[in-house]
Structures are given as C-alpha cells and as structure tokens.
Amino acid sequence: MADANLFTMLSAYRPGSPATPFENYCTSGLAYFLKRGQVLLTRLLAEAAGAAGEELAVVEVQPRLGDAAIADLLLTFEGGRRAIVEVQVEAASDQRRLPALESFRTEWDAAPALVMVSLHAQDAPAGWQAVTWLQVIEAIEDDPDPLAKQYTEFVLRDILGLGAVPLDEAITTNRLYALGAAAVRKRFGDRATYTNSASRPIGGQYRYLGTTFSVDDGEMQYWIGIVNETVPLGSHYHLMLASKERQLDQPAEQPRATGDWKWLWWTGAGRVVRPVTPELYENLLARLPA
C-alpha cells in the first residue's frame, strides 16, 4: 500500500472540499491507521462495506469522484469492492452533499458501498452503513503504536467531548467545542441542535468562544462557553450561559466583551482558573428554564 506518512496526509486538504480542516484532520488520522494495515479497524470498515474478510488495497483521501463530488475517503478492497466513506464529527451534520456521493458510479463497481463514520449510528441515513467513533476507538485502543494512543485520546476529547479542558486548550483546540456539544447532547438528547460560535481572535484572545444551541429543534436561543473578562481583551475568561429571551436562574450582568449582543439573560460560574469540566457545563445548563 502507498506510504502511510501521517503528516503528508494531514497536509492533503483539498481546496473546495466541503470538509472543514478539522474534519479533514480527523479523516487523515483514520486513513493513516487504515494505510498501515491496522487489523481491527480494517475489519470494521470492511464489514460495513460488505467486504468482510478482505484486506485493503488502496486508501484514497479526498479523491474527486468524477465531476460530482469529493469524498472524504475512498477505499478499494482486494476483491475489487469499493466504499465511499463519509466522515462526520458533529451530530446533525449537513448532509446535502450525500446525494452526489450516492450517485457516483464507476466501470469497476456500479454501486460502491456507502459508509458513514459519525457520533451515533442513527446519524447515518437510509442506504448508508453506520460506524461510530466509539467503534473506531475500540478498534485501535490496544494498538502499541504511540500515535494510536494519541489518536484515541484525540477522538475521546476533541470529537466526543470527554474530559476536562484547560484554558490554553480551550482557545487553541476543538476541545471546548466538543465538550459543549457533548453536554448539550447529554442533557437534551435528540431535541438539541448546536453550532460552534466564536468571535474573531485578536492577538490570540477571543471575546467569546463556545456553543450556540437549541433545546427543541427550534431557533438557537442559548449559548454556553467562555467570555473574556475585559475589553481591551485580556487573558482571563469567565464561564457563562446566555439566553436570548427566557429568564435564567442566578442571573448576572451581560459581560462587556459580548459587545452588541441583544440577549437579555446571562448567568455564570466565575473566572476560569481550573480546567473546564463537563460537570461545570451541566451545572450551568441546569439553570435553563424547565
């Protein structure tokens, strides 16, 4: 199989692809372990693709499929079976590009298998075989490769949102976004929708950084995350919850760093002096109206 240099694959982001750089990073890590022949991960994807027991012959990262679309991964198994792999790192991700992937045909394989790697099995629509990130972790967690240990931790913390997040990681990685999304999913389940929300960084500092969300598939009227303590921006942040219209328990004044936000209700957990934990998020979310 072709060279499995992780750093070469991480640099392979294709301009014009609908994948975000973060999603591409996740995809390239997955491709690395497939290219180096990781047995359990290969078996997992092969079974999902209807090629159980077959080895991988080719792993392509972000190949263009004719003129129709760009896939996250295209896998070719030794028996000739092909699989298009869609990689998603958020619940309820945009699936508008899936029909273009589903329509792809080649002279070698009239109907490639369709596999989706996502947070939950139910995220995969009809016609797609589901593989969850938890299954990916279970496949590689006992691999002695030090990079496998790092990737396992990365999936757990940067995608699944497990574990505490120090302030320096909150403003430089995906971990605070993932923690917020996980807390919203845990509390509100399938009713919740959410999106990452951050101000433009200025000198490495943010006015605010966190998660805007809805609890009932309606308008996103709530936000949770960290807000800079001062304007001009400094290095101290407060953990806060905001509501556009509905009153919150333990209300606080709107912080200056949120500028012209027209949101009426705010509450907070104080300055971030220790790592932000899921428990802190859960305590703030409990202040939402019933």
Handedness of CA 148, 276, 121, 106 (dihedral sign): negative
Which percentage of the chain shows pLDDT scores above 70?
A: 87
Distance CA 26, CA 43 (A): 19
pLDDT digits (tens, 9 = 90+) for 255-272: 999 988 999 999 999 999
- The whole model's pTM is what? 0.87
- Short-list 116, 91, 112, CA closest to 103: 112
Q: Sort strands 82-87 and 113-118 into parallel, antiparallel or unpaired.
A: parallel
State the helix-helix crossing angle for 21-35 and 146-154, rounded to 10 degrees: 150
For residue 17, what pLDDT is reported?
58
- Short-list 148, 149, 151, 209, CA closest to 177: 209
Instruction: Kindly write down the DSSP assignment for every residue of 52-75, as one continuous string.
Output: TTPPEEEEEES-EETTTEE-SEEE
For residue 111, what pLDDT is reported?
77
For residue 191, what pLDDT is reported?
82
For residue 21, what pLDDT is reported?
80
